[in-house]
Amino acid sequence: MRCVVIASGDLDPDDERWLADADLVIAADGGATSLDRLGLRPDVLVGDLDSTDSTLVERLEASGTRIERHPADKESSDTELALGAAMASDATPIVVLGAFGGDRIDHELANVLLLADPALAGRDIRLVRGRSTVRILRGRAHAELEGPVGGTVTLMPVGGDVTGMTTDGLRWPLDGATLRMGRSRGLSNEIVAAPASVQLEHGTLLVVEIATQGAN
């Protein structure tokens, strides 16, 4: 079951395509407003609802949206709560839209770091905005990259060094390398042969793919 989670950040015009074949749409609080602008409603609305107009909440509830209200004083962000609802439904894959944009860089960072939560291990979860996709690999792991030739790939360690990094199809290859936490060695590589791939032996790796305009 394909699930799309809508966070409260900005949506790119290309993001709407992910909603067309979604089996389950979950809005994290203000994400409901973004959907409403598109003439759509979520199946589930999750959060403390401090960013969603009360009349919209009432209208959604009357239309059949399930509302999961949480107190304002909570230990999880609305996006984390929405991801929890998605996992409880056994959805896979899970695409998160609206994780970026706006004036809250702290929320953007928190959304990215959510991917590194061990509780999400083994799930196909990615953050998407326009042509950019962010996901996590945990070693030992091997994955094909999804971008086209000419696309940009950034590989960034999270929570410590990543060892045994080997790539195929990238302009600047890695062969059993170590990527050090806090260093920028894995920034802005380029796909030169598709499908490209990455492999690691140990660690947690953030994979950012950007299908650059004009890439093949």
The domains of the chain are located at 3-130, 135-210
In which order are the strands placed within the sheet that holds 44-47? 66-69, 44-47, 24-28, 3-6, 94-97, 125-129, 132-138, 204-210, 152-157, 189-190
Nearest by Cα to 202 from 173, 171, 174, 177: 177
Note the pLDDT tens digit of each residue in 117-139.
Answer: 998 888 899 999 999 999 999 98
Same fold flag, 3-130 and 135-210: yes
pTM: 0.92
- Per-residue confidence (pLDDT) for residue 72, from 0 to 100: 84
d(CA 216, CA 212): 9
- Per-residue confidence (pLDDT) for residue 178, from 0 to 100: 97
- Per-residue confidence (pLDDT) for residue 39, from 0 to 100: 94
- Which architecture, in CATH terms, is 3-130? 3-Layer(aba) Sandwich (3.40)
Note the pLDDT tens digit of each residue in 61-114.
Answer: 999 999 999 988 888 899 999 999 999 998 889 999 999 977 788 989 999 999
Q: What is the mean pLDDT of the chain?
A: 93
Domain 135-210 class? alpha beta
Contact status, residue 47 vs residue 37, Cβ threshold 8 Å:
no
Nearest by Cα to 29 from 95, 76, 63: 76
In whole angstroms, how far apart are CA 164 and each of 81, 146, 200, 205? 34, 21, 5, 11
